[in-house]
Amino acid sequence: MSVSSLADVWNGLAGAQPAPPRLVVVGTAVLALVAVGPYRCWRVSRHVVTIAHEGGHALAALLTGRRLAGIRLHSDTSGLTVSAGRPTGPGMVVTGMAGYLAPSVLGLLGAVLLTAGRITVMLWAALVVLAAMLVMIRNMFGVVSVVATIGIVFAVSWFASAQTQAAFAYFSVWLLLAGGVRPVVELQRLRRRGRVPYSDADQLARLTPLPGLFWVVFFWVGTVVALLFGGWLLARAMTRGWL
């Protein structure tokens, strides 16, 4: 690759991209709501949320000094992140807290980048995170899921038009923001039926003096606040003339 080509790639990455029309932003929001609404759609889109969920556990484990043993993603949209270290203490608590909040936090960070016009930065940052996560996947379905996601994001970021990249980026952010809320609602429904005795909320209840319901409410408030704030950022960008 020539120096000029490298410079073009860098300029495309570092520079701000033209924002899409308002119809794209609103349309992708509606599409994301459809993706997390009907059960058949949710069965597909939830895999993306699960990748973010387990990635949150993994990153929190590393940041708190735990040793990350591996990540598994399953075809039923569940996942498991295993880390080694003290079975109790702040590291375990932070690692347990991170999963349900991770999709919403990533969506919020994506909203910040999009309102600044950094569409390409957002897409390439997603590629870096997914590639780092791929190294720790320990089952075939997980490898296929992450590789497929990397392939889709790379194809859009490298070959698609600016408008298509923008639509894909906005849809991804809306999906993470909206998709972060539904698993928390499902978690409490399953807890009431006694079907998830080892859920993140129940593990946190064993690690802290706070009951599992507290942690469900904590997750729900965090994800809803992220959805509202992220949506407000994108809406404010439209009214201030970014779009």
Q: Which residue has the tokens 């790379």?
A: 154
Angle of helix 119-134 versus helix 140-159 axis, rounded to 10: 160
Q: What is the pLDDT of residue 20?
A: 82
DSSP 9-40: HHHHHHSPPPPPPHHHHHHHHHHHHHHHSSHH
Q: What is the pLDDT of residue 6?
A: 46
Does 221 reside within a domain? yes
Does 51 reside within a domain? yes
State which residues of the chain have pLDDT below 70.
1-15, 238-243
CA distance 28 to 51: 21
Does 13 reside within a domain? no
Does 91 reside within a domain? yes
Does 67 reside within a domain? yes
Structural domain total, the chain: 1
Residue in 133, 137, 113 with CA at minimum distance from that of residue 123:
113
Q: What is the pLDDT of residue 19?
A: 72
Does 204 reside within a domain? yes
Q: What is the pLDDT of residue 236?
A: 80
Q: What is the pLDDT of residue 3?
A: 45
Does 2 reside within a domain? no
**81 is in which domain, residue-wise?**
18-239
